[in-house]
């Protein structure tokens, strides 16, 4: 057995072991590129009231004034300023009663209530890196282990295919196993750089779970926050002159010293106040990631009581820059809408590669179709490749039909996701394989079509027609995406019917 044959075995078995986990991670990650848009869409009563976006600095002033009046004794304020992607202020503060979060109309300063209790697009982000609802550390550790095995499978797959360039230009349609092999090759080559970078950067982000001993030895068990502070800053900003005054300066004193826009085209994105209304209060302003891959966004620090500009020198060492760019590349904060769309498409194309690889594994072992291992793989394929998209669509559909003031509606939405996902197994267990596949394709298409339609009934102010007329593309874009996905499923249904029903094979 030569080296390539060994790599082929490694690729096949390592791949099948983590295939469903990788599909889950990349599918939810692809959706999470648009989690902000999904968050906006999931809370339509609040978002539909905001008609235009004037000035981010004006919005920051509105948030500051509200918190200074209603949360003056808090330990910390943190505000995400309204922007084109999320047209409301996100206010977060921490006091002796715990942590609080509210959405605010950036024009009037009013809190946007009632706001639906929902995870929105954040669910997909949590699923992606913590396998929610598993405990964060356990879920992230599993994701890290899957990433290691996936990277081994990815590299062994490249070694296995010695004619990789030639294979890229070959696709033999309607040839059964050959067609699946060609599809696996083509999609694999297209997405190889993307998957390699995302797998590697994701593993680097979670390195402290896989190799925790160095950090534990140097910083202690609770030293991870300190480590990340040191990776970002050489030292933390502190007021250079002591002031007995606890009264913070008017907000305009800080705004006057801030640029409206940086050289990279970045606008004010967030601001934070540490120890507000105390002698040690510090306010920091952070600009967005416009044209910046690293997390070294423009930042400005002030002594809140004197409006004195402070220095907080960044850690610009090679290791710190590597870590910063690792986060920037993986999370895609720098990316424009179209770039995020491309990244999301790359993730979905990679999912097609995984599906083709799994079906190819089945085809090669068709003679063992009555064995337990074959049936297990078949059921996992069905549960993951068809059940997960249906569960995701059902989760978003539940967000539209559950009443806005329904208590614990967020828990019910998440319960819907997992319940529908598990129920999808019933189709594969009770129906023939082809009938089950066709049934789930039809149901998923119907759910996707129903989401924009039900909006006309439940939230007419945020319906596709109304949001399009008022130019609220942060709402309309999501509904349009559902319609396009429904059309893609309808095309898949027609293809499936043409291939099997004409010959009488759907029984």
DSSP letter (8 states) at residue 197:
H
Q: Is residue 275 part of a domain?
A: no
- Ranges 134-143, 175-184, 260-269, 292-301: which has the least confidence: 175-184
Domain count, the chain: 1
Using one digit for the tens of pLDDT, what is the confidence trace for 410-468?
A: 999 999 999 999 999 888 888 888 888 999 999 999 999 999 999 889 888 888 888 88
Per DSSP, what are the bridge partners of residue 76? Answer: 94, 274
**pLDDT for residue 26:** 94
3-state per-residue secondary structure call for 375-413: HHHHHHHHHHHHHHHHHHHHHHHHHHHCCCCCCCHHHHH
Pairwise CA distance, residues 228 & 249, whole Å = 30
Q: Is residue 338 part of a domain?
A: no
3-state per-residue secondary structure call for 200-237: HHHHHHCHHHHCCHHHHHHHCCCCHHHHHHHHHECCCC
Q: Is residue 358 part of a domain?
A: no
| Cis omega (within 30 of 0) for bond into 114 | yes
Write out the two tokens for 315: 């850690």
Give the best-scoring range by mean pLDDT among 51-55, 459-463, 493-497: 493-497
Q: Is residue 388 part of a domain?
A: yes
Q: Is residue 194 part of a domain?
A: no
201, 129 contact by CB (below 8 A): no
Using one digit for the tens of pLDDT, what is the confidence trace for 76-125?
A: 999 999 888 888 899 999 888 888 988 898 888 888 876 788 899 999 99
Q: Judge whether residue 52 has pLDDT over 60.
A: no
Pairwise CA distance, residues 507 & 320, whole Å = 60
Residue 507: pLDDT band (50, 70, 90) is very low
Q: Is residue 465 part of a domain?
A: yes
Q: Is residue 460 part of a domain?
A: yes
* Structural domain for 497, as ranges: 368-507
Q: Is residue 407 part of a domain?
A: yes
pTM of the model: 0.89
**pLDDT for residue 313:** 80
Using one digit for the tens of pLDDT, what is the confidence trace for 154-186?
A: 888 888 776 666 666 666 666 667 778 888 888
């Amino acid at each position: 057995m030569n080296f390539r044959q060994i790599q082929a075995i490694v690729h096949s078995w390592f791949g099948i072991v983590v295939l469903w986990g990788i599909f889950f991670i990349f599918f939810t990650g692809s959706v999470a590129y648009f989690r902000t848009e999904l968050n906006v869409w999931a809370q339509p009563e609040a978002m539909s009231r905001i008609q235009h976006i004037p000035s981010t600095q004006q919005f920051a002033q509105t948030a500051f004034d509200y918190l200074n009046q209603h949360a003056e004794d808090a330990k910390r304020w943190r505000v995400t300023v309204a922007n084109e992607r999320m047209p409301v202020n996100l206010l977060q503060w921490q006091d002796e009663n715990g942590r609080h979060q509210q959405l605010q109309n950036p024009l009037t300063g009013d809190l946007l209530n009632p706001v639906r209790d929902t995870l929105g697009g954040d669910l997909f982000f949590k699923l992606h890196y913590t396998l929610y609802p598993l405990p964060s550390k356990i879920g992230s550790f599993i994701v890290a282990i899957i990433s290691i095995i996936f990277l081994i499978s990815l590299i062994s797959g490249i070694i296995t295919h010695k004619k990789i360039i030639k294979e890229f230009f070959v696709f033999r349609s309607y040839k059964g196993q050959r067609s699946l092999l060609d599809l696996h090759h083509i999609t694999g080559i297209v997405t190889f750089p993307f998957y390699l970078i995302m797998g590697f950067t994701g593993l680097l982000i979670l390195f402290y779970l896989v190799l925790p001993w160095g950090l534990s030895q140097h910083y202690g068990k609770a030293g991870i926050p300190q480590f990340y502070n040191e990776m970002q800053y050489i030292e933390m900003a502190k007021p250079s002159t002591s002031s007995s005054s606890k009264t913070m300066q008017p907000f305009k004193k800080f705004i006057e010293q801030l640029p409206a826009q940086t050289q990279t085209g970045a606008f004010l994105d967030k601001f934070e106040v540490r120890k507000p209304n105390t002698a040690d209060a510090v306010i920091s302003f952070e600009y967005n990631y416009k044209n910046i891959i690293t997390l070294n966004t423009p930042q400005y620090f002030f002594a809140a009581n004197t409006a004195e500009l402070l220095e907080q020198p960044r850690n610009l060492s090679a290791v710190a820059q590597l870590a910063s760019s690792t986060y920037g590349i993986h999370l895609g904060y720098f990316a424009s809408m179209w770039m995020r769309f491309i990244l999301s498409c790359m993730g979905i194309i990679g999912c097609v590669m995984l599906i083709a690889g799994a079906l190819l594994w089945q085809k090669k072992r068709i003679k063992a179709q009555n064995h337990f291992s074959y049936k297990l793989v078949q059921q996992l394929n069905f549960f993951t490749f068809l059940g997960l998209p249906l569960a995701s669509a059902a989760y978003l559909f539940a967000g539209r039909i559950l009443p806005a003031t329904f208590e614990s509606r967020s828990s019910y939405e998440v319960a819907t996701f997992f319940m529908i996902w598990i129920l999808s197994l019933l189709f594969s267990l009770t129906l023939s394989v082809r009938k089950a596949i066709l049934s789930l394709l039809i149901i998923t298409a119907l759910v996707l079509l129903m989401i924009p339609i039900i909006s006309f009934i439940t939230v007419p102010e945020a319906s596709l027609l109304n949001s399009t007329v008022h130019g609220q593309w942060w709402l309309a874009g999501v509904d349009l995406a559902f319609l396009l996905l429904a059309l893609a499923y309808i095309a898949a249904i027609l293809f499936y019917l043409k291939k099997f029903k004409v010959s009488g094979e759907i029984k």
